[in-house]
Chains A and B, each alone.
Chain A
């Protein structure tokens, strides 16, 4: 069945470091892919999305490219800030089914 696998955390970085959080997926067909962010004490917020192969989603300096050949959707940011400390979830939604599959989440800690 469909699923999402993302790297385990926590990931600890210094401010201004480069961030990569890996996400790979298993799906039949062509799902939509998402990254969500959850700040402490809050719900999940949509960070970015991509709906077809080679699409690049971007928001707030974060980027992720839909790579069908490697079934990946890695999250990147060139220079992280302390305010980026949160839990990041990769997710997919199959094109023809109203379902959502979330990864287990990766906690990011950014130190000043």
Chain B
């Protein structure tokens, strides 16, 4: 595998379910990100991890719980979601913090909450 991979690619879940999204980067990067992309809305940064430590949480509801066990893996645990949480969830990675670095994106997980 190369680049940034995400699984599953598609997920349908009920509001009472618990599921997890997985992201893995094969680029040797130290920073990882979760974004939410909804129709007709700008990309929303959700969480940032640098060297496994969470450095940013953009007021994301607690029903989204990230986990970063190492610099290569990032998870987003989901529980009791709402229909408005249906969106494309994108994972990205970059070299260490310091700014000016490009981010590399995975293909995304298309989430539908019923």
Q: Report which A residues bind B (CB closer than 8 A).
A: 31-32, 34, 36, 41-46, 49, 51, 89, 93-100, 102-105
Contacts and interface: CB of A to CB of B under 8 A. Distances in A.
Given A32-B102, A100-B45, A104-B42, 18 more contacts: A32-B100, A34-B102, A43-B90, A43-B107, A46-B103, A46-B104, A51-B100, A93-B100, A93-B103, A95-B100, A98-B31, A98-B94, A98-B98, A98-B99, A100-B33, A100-B103, A102-B43, A105-B43
Contacts of A49: 102
A33 B92 CA distance: 17
B43 A95 contact: no
B98 A96 contact: yes
25 contacts: A32-B102, A36-B105, A41-B107, A42-B108, A43-B90, A43-B105, A44-B90, A44-B105, A46-B102, A46-B104, A49-B102, A51-B100, A93-B99, A93-B100, A93-B101, A93-B102, A94-B100, A97-B97, A98-B48, A98-B55, A98-B98, A98-B101, A102-B42, A102-B43, A103-B42
B99 A89 contact: no
Contacts of B94: 98
Complex A-B, nearest 7 residue pairs according to Cβ-Cβ distance, in ascending order: A98-B97, A43-B105, A32-B100, A44-B105, A43-B107, A95-B99, A102-B43
Interface of B: 4, 6, 31, 33, 42-43, 45, 48, 50, 55, 90, 92, 94, 96-108, 110
Contacts, number: 62
Contacts of A46: 102-104
A91 to B, nearest CB: 8
